[in-house]
């Protein structure tokens, strides 16, 4: 992977989907995994070119004890090394999940949304003041494999066109700059640049439906049906998203 070509691919994708304008502040959600480390690196290296300010945010869900603390320290260290402003927040997700009578995944989603809004306020994006600061954006590190997993998950549970169009590149304040990349491209890029990342042990277990799709179903589709399955599903999702937006109009 040529680093410049790789960056240009992301930049073209961001421009095509109008993700940021000059003067915007982008809060990158960084777990410490390959996808989010790659996202942070790319935004950091393209910040001057895009005219954006980049901030890193890490959330400790209080689910994996010492491993979660290790993740937080890892992200804090790379931000220190790269000179990126860093913030982390702690939420007792298992406790809240019991209190709210919701699954941990759903609870995690709710508290993440709250955390992003609190960070938005902290960075000065509320009321009149925010008009002078450009726009506030939250960058998430979903890639094409996440998109394919989401499509299969929705398909299995029953869905319509919107559910099959998977994950959107832009959704309000949320932007997904690496949605044009497959997971293996990301891992290869980091390996080539000599940049380390961490693997969340909960991604390897089959406790969550999404992990069963990630660890078994998608690899079987790529190995036994079509090596470009993920790429083709991403293209189908794009076509369906266009059809959905046309039908909405």
Element (H, E) at 56: strand 53-60
Please say whether the beta carbons of 30 and 59 come within 8 A: no
Cβ neighbors of 208 (< 8 A, separation 6 or more) are 105, 202
pTM: 0.91
What pLDDT does 131 receive?
Answer: 55
Q: CA-CA distance, 71 to 59, in Å (whole number)?
A: 10
What pLDDT does 125 receive?
Answer: 87
Please say whether the beta carbons of 37 and 25 come within 8 A: no
What pLDDT does 160 receive?
Answer: 93
Q: CA-CA distance, 27 to 137, in Å (whole number)?
A: 6
What pLDDT does 1 receive?
Answer: 60
Per-residue pLDDT of the chain (249 residues; tens, 9 = 90+): 688 889 999 999 999 999 999 999 999 999 999 999 999 999 999 999 999 999 999 998 877 778 888 999 999 999 999 999 999 998 888 888 888 888 888 888 899 999 999 999 999 887 655 556 689 999 999 999 999 999 999 999 999 999 999 899 999 999 999 999 999 999 999 999 999 999 866 666 666 778 899 999 999 999 999 999 999 999 999 999 999 999 999
Residue 30, token pair as written in the block: 């960084």
> Is the four-CA dihedral 10, 12, 13, 18 of positive or negative sign?
positive
What pLDDT does 204 receive?
Answer: 61
In sequence order, which ranges of 87-136 are alpha helices (DSSP H)? Answer: 93-100, 104-122, 129-132
Counting every residue written for the chain, the total comes to 249
Name the region of 98 (left: φ>0; alpha: ψ -120 to 50; beta: rest).
Answer: alpha
Match 């399955």 to its residue by tokens. Answer: 229
Please say whether the beta carbons of 25 and 133 come within 8 A: yes
- How distant, in Å, are the alpha carbons of 94, 119, 216, 241 from that of 137? 28, 11, 34, 21
Coil vs helix vs strand at 144: helix
């Amino acid at each position: 992977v040529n680093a410049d070509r790789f960056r240009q691919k992301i930049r073209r994708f961001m421009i095509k989907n109008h993700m940021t304008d000059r003067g915007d502040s982008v809060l990158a959600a960084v777990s410490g995994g390959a996808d989010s480390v790659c996202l942070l690196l790319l935004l950091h290296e393209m910040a001057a070119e895009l005219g954006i300010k980049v901030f890193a945010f890490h959330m400790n869900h209080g689910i994996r004890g010492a491993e979660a603390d290790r993740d937080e320290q890892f992200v804090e260290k790379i931000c220190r090394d790269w000179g990126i402003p860093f913030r982390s927040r702690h939420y007792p997700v298992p406790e809240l999940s019991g209190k709210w009578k919701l699954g941990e995944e759903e609870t995690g989603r709710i508290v993440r949304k709250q955390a992003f809004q609190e960070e938005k306020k902290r960075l000065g994006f509320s009321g009149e003041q925010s008009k002078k600061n450009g726009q506030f954006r939250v960058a998430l590190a979903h890639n094409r494999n996440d998109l394919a997993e989401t499509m299969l998950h929705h398909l299995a549970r029953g869905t319509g066109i919107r559910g099959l169009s998977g994950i959107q590149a832009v959704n309000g304040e949320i932007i997904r700059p690496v949605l044009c990349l497959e997971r293996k491209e990301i891992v290869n890029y980091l390996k080539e640049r000599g940049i380390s990342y961490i693997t969340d042990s909960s991604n390897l277990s089959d406790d969550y439906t999404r992990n069963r799709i990630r660890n078994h179903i998608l690899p079987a589709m790529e190995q036994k049906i079509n090596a470009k399955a993920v790429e083709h599903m991403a293209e189908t999702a794009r076509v369906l998203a266009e059809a959905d937006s046309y039908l909405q109009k």
